[in-house]
Amino acid sequence: MQGQGQGQGQGPAWDRASAHRQVARVPQPPSPAFDHADPGAYYRALREAYGPVAPVLLDGGVPAWLVLGYHEVQFVAGNPELFGRDPRRWHAWDRVPTGWPLLPHVAHTPSVRFTEGEEHVRRAGAVADVLGEVDPYELRQRAERAADAAVDAFAGAGRAELVAQYAEQVPLHVMAGLFGLHPDETAALERDLAGQYGYGTAAAEPPHPACPAHPGGTAPGPAASAARLRAMLEAVLARARRSPAPGADIPSRLLAHPAGLTDEEVVQDLLTIMAAGRRPTADWIGNTLRLLLTDERFALTLSGGRRSIAQALAEVLWSDPPVQNVIGRWATRDTRLGGRYVRRGDCLVLGLAAANADPRVRPALPGGAVGNHAHLSFSHGAHRCPAPAPQLAEVVATTALEILLDRIPDLVPALAADELPWRPSLWQRGPAALPVTFTPL
């Protein structure tokens, strides 16, 4: 994503023409560079240049608005009649290149993510009911078993890479358990979730099978992963239907929900729950572990306990939220936002991380975040992360961190803090690796 165009107050006044068309006619100021190690600097530079709503170019030069201001993100997410969730109203589809890496996030499917109004109430209600039936005590037990198994796998070695071997593993196995998956299905799930929903960089993405160079759709890549995931969920649903008594797993419950979802709706919403539940939870664990292991404010109390884990989890939601930017919302009519004229059909990206850091609202960190849940890391409004989900993620993340630090209290990062790599993504934030050493168990 690049900043585009000119700053507020420079050059000709903004008129009702699209800002994107207007900026194309005036000299371009330098775009701030995005540094994966410090995305905050990029958001600050954009805010300085453009104010709370910045015109940006997504991968492939596709124009969008990046909403950086806290109040503006709340306004956009909280007014679905002005900023809808259905991407089919986008006027820039003709500018989206084949194989666009963001397609899995914007190509319309009959998923809860893209429904609006009464239909969204029905669909989101079913998802929330089903997640609400997950027993927190049983969830903690599942997370404990997954965490213990992950630690067992590397405890004797005296070294580990805590992203792949731990932060990713615990939510994966918890979700697999909640979905009633068999072990071979869990292994396939691990591979295919990574393939389908990664918000990668354009360069890192394999070509989309719809590309003429890959006719037939058999190429590896997001679409092949999506097809396998889908086939697996269809098999899970067929199993649930054959079962003589309704199961307690999430697919069986969604199938039996009185909202009466069609098979296609159930599959789509299971895909959403799986992807939404696994990656952000893994990154919440990863980002918190990174903070605990590298920030000396936590080092003193690391072996001491729960308070520092809760503190670190809360701080991460303000400072390094797992979901940094959400694409998106689409304007239902011409309107004004943060001093910009937004045209009907324009795409808006919710800048959750930037909004959390908005100097107009940001509490004095560090420390100030504890007990303050006003961050936008689970978004806002009708499409925010559905009510039971953040609590479920918190149970899993807290359990994972407690078990790891209880069992291996002398974890030492194998790299200096500024050498620990971040995944190259504008959309999700998580460490690429957390290599550590410790006394073998």
Q: Which of 22, 165, 272, 325 binds ligand HEM (CB under 6 A)?
A: 272
- Omega of the bond leading into 40 within 30 degrees of 0 (cis): no
Rounded to the nearest whole angstrom, what is the least distance from the CB of residue 73 to ligand HEM in the complex? 9
Alpha helices in 247-365 (DSSP H): 250-256, 263-294, 296-299, 306-319, 352-356
- By CB under 6 A, the residues from 380 to 399 that bind ligand HEM are 383-386, 389, 392-393
Beta-carbon contacts of 342 under 8 Å, excluding residues fewer than 6 positions away, are: 53, 65, 331, 334, 335, 336, 348
Q: Which of 3, 87, 99, 280 binds ligand HEM (CB under 6 A)?
A: 280
Residue 329 is encoded by which pair of tokens? Answer: 């919302």
- By CB under 6 A, the residues from 283 to 302 that bind ligand HEM are 284
How many Å apart are CA 201 and CA 6, to the nearest integer? 25
77 contributes a contact to ligand HEM by CB under 6 A: yes
Q: Which of 46, 58, 67, 112 binds ligand HEM (CB under 6 A)?
A: 112
Q: Which part of the chain contacts ligand HEM (CB under 6 A), choosing from 286-294, 320-328, 336-344, 415-423?
A: 320-328
* Minimum CB distance to ligand HEM smaller for 206 or for 322: 322
312 contributes a contact to ligand HEM by CB under 6 A: no
**Closest to 313 in 3D by CA, of 388, 372, 385:** 372
The packing angle between helices 136-154 and 169-178, to 10°, is: 140
Q: Give the DSSP letter string of 318-344.
A: HHS-SB-EEEEEEESS-EEETTEEE-T
Do 239 and 255 meet the contact criterion of CB atoms below 8 Å apart? Answer: no
Rounded to the nearest whole angstrom, what is the least distance from the CB of residue 422 to ligand HEM in the complex? 16
Q: Which part of the chain contacts ligand HEM (CB under 6 A), choosing from 46-54, 259-267, 277-285, 303-311?
A: 277-285
Work out the burial of residue 40: count CB atoms within 10 Å of its CB; fewer than 13 is exposed, 13-18 middle, 19 or more buried. middle
Rounded to the nearest whole angstrom, what is the least distance from the CB of residue 276 to ligand HEM in the complex? 3
Q: Which of 127, 401, 403, 408 binds ligand HEM (CB under 6 A)?
A: 127
Print burial letters for 251-274: b (CB count within 10 Å at least 16), e (below 16): bbbbbebeeebeeebbbbbbbbbb
Rounded to the nearest whole angstrom, what is the least distance from the CB of residue 1 to ligand HEM in the complex? 17
- By CB under 6 A, the residues from 132 to 161 that bind ligand HEM are none
Do 345 and 330 meet the contact criterion of CB atoms below 8 Å apart? Answer: yes
How many Å apart are CA 206 and CA 173, to the nearest integer? 27
197 contributes a contact to ligand HEM by CB under 6 A: no
* Minimum CB distance to ligand HEM smaller for 75 or for 378: 378
* Minimum CB distance to ligand HEM smaller for 150 or for 276: 276
User: What is the 8-class DSSP label of residue 164?
Assistant: I
Rounded to the nearest whole angstrom, what is the least distance from the CB of residue 112 to ligand HEM in the complex? 5
Q: Contact positions toward ligand HEM, by CB under 6 A? A: 77, 112-113, 124, 127, 131, 272-273, 276-277, 280-281, 284, 322-323, 326, 350, 377-379, 383-386, 389, 392-393
